[in-house]
């Protein structure tokens, strides 16, 4: 009974489940032309499996992009591959980026986060104030860093020299994350645009088919009304129209 429920694909000639095939009439005209180039015996009356349909959709999209932009970039090639395989492009870019961080990069990010917080500012100002008070008032006779606090200036200079590259490393990583996120957004938008175009054409095709069916129904209703009126005239003794 399971074999009887199978549907033969008009392209690969393999038996598929009903939910794995698409009616040939639902295939857009441009893709149907590509299919007929490789399989002249195929026509819209034959079904096509989703694997073959995705493969020809990817070929069509690749041809359109190459005509518009020339050679495809790596990002666009990934979109074509996802269309061919029927895969989803959406992924958690932040999680992937965080998993690739090295120990040094994690330390740099934490130091940059701490250096840009109020906690660091309060601690830093407290140490400066304590240092100045200690060498100005408390240790009057045994100051280890008397005014103009040369040792303090040296420590601050070293701190600034180390803090700057750490912050730059963190900023570079953030820029790399932003670039990766922008590339991912471009892939999603490109695939969404392609899918929306396909949906528009499918809807237009369905609307056209519905209009054809409505016109056929209207013609049948007109014929039935004509036959009914002729019968009523015959029952009333009127002569039927020639």
Q: What is the DSSP letter of 22?
A: E
Exposure of 84 by Cβ count < 10 A (0-12 exposed, 13-18 middle, 19+ buried)? middle
Structural domain count of the chain: 2
Last residue of a domain, one of 87, 103, 119: 87
Strand partners, 49: 21
**In terms of Cα–Cα distance, which of 168, 187, 164 is closest to 176?**
168
Rounded to whole angstroms, the Cα distance separating 129 from 150 reads 15
Beta strand 21-22 with 7-8 is unpaired
Are 60 and 107 part of one and the same domain?
A: no
State in Å, rounded, how far the first CA of the chain is from the last one: 55
Whether 132 is in a domain gets the answer: yes
Q: What is the pLDDT of residue 88?
A: 63
Whether 206 is in a domain gets the answer: no
Whether 62 is in a domain gets the answer: yes
User: What is the extent of the structural domain holding 83?
Assistant: 1-87
The pair of three-digit structure tokens given for residue 160, joined into one six-digit string:
């600034």
Q: How many CB atoms lie within 10 A of CB 70?
A: 8
Whether 218 is in a domain gets the answer: no
Whether 99 is in a domain gets the answer: yes
Are 68 and 100 part of one and the same domain?
A: no
| pTM (predicted TM-score) | 0.48
Are 115 and 149 part of one and the same domain?
A: yes
Whether 131 is in a domain gets the answer: yes
Q: How many CB atoms lie within 10 A of CB 40?
A: 8
Are 116 and 163 part of one and the same domain?
A: yes
Residues found in the chain: 242
Are 109 and 151 part of one and the same domain?
A: yes
Whether 24 is in a domain gets the answer: yes
Whether 209 is in a domain gets the answer: no
Last residue of a domain, one of 52, 87, 122: 87
Are 37 and 71 part of one and the same domain?
A: yes
Mean pLDDT split into 10-residue runs, the chain, 242 residues: 68 84 79 86 85 81 67 64 66 74 84 88 92 82 83 91 87 84 82 74 70 75 76 66 50
Q: What is the pLDDT of residue 154?
A: 92
């Amino acid at each position: 009974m399971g074999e009887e429920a199978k549907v033969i694909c008009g392209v690969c000639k393999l038996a598929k489940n009903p939910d794995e095939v698409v009616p040939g009439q639902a295939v857009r005209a441009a893709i149907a032309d590509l299919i007929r180039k490789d399989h002249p015996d195929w026509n819209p009356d034959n079904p096509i499996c989703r694997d073959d349909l995705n493969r020809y959709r990817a070929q069509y999209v690749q041809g359109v992009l190459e005509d518009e932009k020339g050679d495809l970039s790596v990002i666009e090639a990934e979109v074509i591959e996802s269309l061919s395989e029927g895969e989803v492009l959406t992924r958690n870019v932040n999680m992937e980026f965080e998993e690739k961080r090295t120990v040094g990069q994690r330390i740099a990010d934490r130091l940059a986060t701490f250096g840009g917080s109020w906690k660091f500012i309060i601690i830093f100002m407290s140490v400066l104030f304590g240092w100045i008070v200690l060498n100005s008032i408390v240790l009057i006779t045994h100051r280890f860093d008397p005014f103009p606090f040369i040792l303090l200036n040296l420590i601050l200079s070293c701190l600034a020299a180390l803090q700057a590259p750490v912050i730059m490393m963190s900023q570079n990583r953030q820029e790399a994350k932003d670039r990766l996120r922008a590339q991912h957004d471009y892939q999603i938008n490109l695939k969404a645009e392609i899918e929306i175009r396909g949906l528009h054409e499918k809807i237009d095709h369905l609307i056209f088919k519905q209009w054809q069916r409505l016109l056929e129904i209207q013609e049948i209703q007109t014929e039935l009304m004509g036959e009914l009126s002729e019968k009523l005239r015959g029952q009333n003794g009127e002569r039927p129209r020639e």
